[in-house]
Chain A
Amino acid sequence: MNNSAVARRRFPLSIVVLLAAVVILAILPFYIRGYWIRVLTTLFMSAVLAEALNLVVGYAGYAAFGNGVFFGLGAYTTAVLMTRFGWSFFPAMIASCFLAATVAFLLGWPVLRLRGHYFAIATIGINMAVMEIVTYVGITGGGKGISLPLFPGDIVKQGLFFYYGMFILLIISVAITYWIANSRLGYGLRAIKTEPEAAEVMGVNTTLYKVLAWSISAAITGIAGSLNAYWLTFLEPLFVFDIMISVEAFVMVLLGGPATIFGPVIGAFFLKLLSELIWSQFTLIHMGVLGLIIVVITLFLPSGIMGLWRQMTLRWNKANTARTSPGSQ
Chain B
Amino acid sequence: MKHQRLIYLITLVLSITLLLAGCGGKGGTTGQEKGKGEKVLKIGASLSFTGQLSREGNLTKKGYDLWVKKVNEAGGINVNGEKYKVEIVYKDDQSEAQRSAKLTEQMITEEGVNFLLGPYSSGISAATAAIAEKYNKLTIVPLANAPSLYEQGYKNLFGVLPLATTYLNGVLDLAKTLDPNLKKVAIISPDALFSLSVAEGAKKYAEANGFQVVYYDKYPADTKDLSSMITNIKNAGAQILLGTGYLADGVLAVRNAKDLGYKPAIMAFTIATSIPDFRNSLGADAEGIMGGEWWTPNMKWTGDIFGSAEDYAKLYKAEYNEDPAYYSAAASVAGVILQKAIEKAGSLEVDKVRDAMRSLDIQTFWGPIRFNERGVNVGTSSAAVSQIQNGQVVVVWPEELQQSKPLYPKP
Q: Which of A243-290 contact B (CB under 8 A)?
A: 260-262, 265-266, 269-270, 273, 276-277, 279, 283-284, 286-287
Q: Which residue of A lies closest to B126 (CB)?
A: A234
Q: Which residue of B lies closest to A142 (CB)?
A: B191
Q: Is the CB of A39 within 8 A of B5?
A: no
Q: Is the CB of A305 within 8 A of B193?
A: no
A308 to chain B, nearest CB (A): 10
- The reply on A195 being an interface residue by CB < 8 A is no
CA distance A305 to B135 in the complex (A): 39
From A155, A276, A283, A309, B90 is in contact (CB under 8 Å) with A283
Of A14-22, A110-118, A164-172, A320-328, the one touching chain B = A14-22
CA distance A242 to B102 in the complex (A): 18
Q: Which of B126-173 contact A (CB under 8 A)?
A: 126-127, 130-131, 133-135, 146, 148, 151-152
- The reply on A298 being an interface residue by CB < 8 A is no
B110 to chain A, nearest CB (A): 5
- The reply on B24 being an interface residue by CB < 8 A is yes
Q: Is the CB of B5 within 8 A of A276?
A: no
Q: Is the CB of A269 within 8 A of B13?
A: yes
- The reply on B18 being an interface residue by CB < 8 A is yes
Of B93-101, B280-288, B336-344, the one touching chain A = B93-101
Residues A273 and B152 in contact in the complex (CB < 8 Å), given A283-B49, A305-B9:
no
CA distance A262 to B4 in the complex (A): 11
Q: Is the CB of A34 within 8 A of B108?
A: yes
Q: Is the CB of A34 within 8 A of B97?
A: no
Residues A34 and B98 in contact in the complex (CB < 8 Å), given A14-B3, A313-B5:
no
Residues A143 and B97 in contact in the complex (CB < 8 Å), given A35-B110, A262-B6, A266-B10:
no
Q: Is the CB of A234 within 8 A of B18?
A: no
Residues of A within 8 A of B260 (CB): none
CA distance A135 to B192 in the complex (A): 9
Q: Is the CB of A233 within 8 A of B14?
A: no
CA distance A15 to B106 in the complex (A): 34
Q: Is the CB of B109 within 8 A of A143?
A: no
Of A5-13, A84-92, A101-109, the one touching chain B = A5-13
Q: Is the CB of B221 within 8 A of A17?
A: no
From A13, A32, A233, A266, B9 is in contact (CB under 8 Å) with A266
CA distance A9 to B10 in the complex (A): 17
Contact count band on B:
35 or more
A-contact 0/1 string along B166-203, CB 8 Å cutoff: 00000000000000000000000011110111000000
CA distance A38 to B108 in the complex (A): 12
Q: Is the CB of A32 within 8 A of B21?
A: yes
- The reply on B235 being an interface residue by CB < 8 A is no
- The reply on A315 being an interface residue by CB < 8 A is no
- The reply on B380 being an interface residue by CB < 8 A is no
Q: Which of A42, A144, A261, A309 is packed against the most chain B CB atoms within 10 Å?
A: A144
Q: Is the CB of B3 within 8 A of A11?
A: yes
- The reply on B11 being an interface residue by CB < 8 A is yes
A74 to chain B, nearest CB (A): 15
Q: Is the CB of A24 within 8 A of B18?
A: yes
Q: Which residue of A lies closest to B19 (CB)?
A: A273
- The reply on B236 being an interface residue by CB < 8 A is no
Residues A14 and B4 in contact in the complex (CB < 8 Å), given A239-B97, A284-B92:
yes
Q: Is the CB of B20 within 8 A of A21?
A: no
B-contact 0/1 string along A137-172, CB 8 Å cutoff: 000001111010010001100100000000000000
CA distance A36 to B106 in the complex (A): 8
Q: Is the CB of B192 within 8 A of A35?
A: no
- The reply on B27 being an interface residue by CB < 8 A is yes
Q: Is the CB of B3 within 8 A of A40?
A: no
Q: Is the CB of A11 within 8 A of B193?
A: no
Q: Which residue of B lies closest to A15 (CB)?
A: B7
- The reply on A228 being an interface residue by CB < 8 A is yes
CA distance A21 to B20 in the complex (A): 16
CA distance A142 to B221 in the complex (A): 11
CA distance A305 to B9 in the complex (A): 9
Q: Is the CB of B127 within 8 A of A233?
A: yes
- The reply on A3 being an interface residue by CB < 8 A is yes
CA distance A276 to B220 in the complex (A): 35
Residues A143 and B105 in contact in the complex (CB < 8 Å), given A35-B110, A234-B97, A309-B5:
no
- The reply on A33 being an interface residue by CB < 8 A is yes
From A3, A15, A234, B8 is in contact (CB under 8 Å) with A3
Q: Which residue of A lies closest to B50 (CB)?
A: A287
Q: Is the CB of A262 within 8 A of B24?
A: no
Residues of B within 8 A of A34 (CB): 105, 108-109, 135
- The reply on A79 being an interface residue by CB < 8 A is no
Residues of A within 8 A of B50 (CB): 284, 286-287
Binding site for A on B (CB under 8 A): 1, 3-11, 13-14, 16-18, 20-21, 24, 27, 49-50, 90-92, 94, 96-98, 101-102, 105-106, 108-110, 123, 126-127, 130-131, 133-135, 146, 148, 151-152, 190-193, 195-197, 218, 220-221
Give 7 pairs: A residue, B residue, CB < 8 Å, sorted on A.
Answer: A15-B7, A17-B10, A20-B11, A36-B21, A155-B131, A262-B9, A283-B91
Q: 13 new A-B pairs (CB below 8 Å) besides A143-B191, A233-B127, A287-B50? A: A10-B4, A14-B7, A21-B14, A36-B21, A38-B105, A42-B102, A143-B196, A147-B151, A154-B134, A158-B134, A273-B16, A276-B20, A309-B9
